[in-house]
């Protein structure tokens, strides 16, 4: 694939970026290296390689749900910056 000025301008437009002429030259070199790497990968013979679905053969091991105790209201409100003793006090965010 040829990396030219038009391709760089199109990518800049799509990504909503703007490049100076020096940055375009640097970007062009980086883009050519990336495309060269992908083309090198395309040379590999992968006909006998199965597609990778998961990184490992492990399956999720989940614990059983158990009913356990909770903290009291007083403990929950202990570190609250503002409370009325029953509820948390928060700034009003909805205005009518």
Number of domains in the chain: 1
Whole-model pTM over 0.75: no
Domain membership flag for residue 21: yes
Domain with 24, as residue range(s), is: 5-41
Q: What 3-state DSSP class applies to 71?
A: coil
Q: Give the pLDDT confidence score for residue 85 in this predicted structure.
A: 87
pLDDT digits (tens, 9 = 90+) for 16-62: 999 899 999 999 999 999 999 999 988 999 889 888 887 888 778 78
What gap in Å lies between CA 92 and CA 21, rounded to an integer?
A: 51
* Helix, strand and coil percent figures for the chain, each rounded to 5: 40, 0, 60
Domain membership flag for residue 16: yes
Q: Give the pLDDT confidence score for residue 30 in this predicted structure.
A: 93
Instruction: Identify the CATH number of the domain in which residue 25 sits.
Output: 1.10.20
- Concatenated DSSP letters of 60-79: ---PPP-------HHHHHTT
Domain membership flag for residue 25: yes
Q: What's the DSSP call for residue 57?
A: S
Phi and psi of 88, rounded to 5°? Answer: -75, 140
Domain membership flag for residue 49: no
Domain membership flag for residue 18: yes
């Amino acid at each position: 694939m040829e990396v030219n000025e038009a391709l760089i301008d199109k990518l800049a437009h799509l990504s909503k970026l703007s490049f100076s002429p020096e940055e375009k030259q640097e970007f062009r070199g980086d883009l050519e290296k990336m495309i060269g790497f992908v083309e090198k990968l395309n040379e590999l013979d992968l006909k006998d390689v199965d597609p990778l679905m998961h990184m490992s053969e492990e399956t999720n091991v989940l614990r059983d749900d158990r009913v356990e105790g909770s903290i009291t209201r007083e403990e929950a409100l202990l570190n609250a910056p503002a409370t009325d003793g029953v509820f948390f006090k928060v700034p009003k965010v909805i205005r009518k």
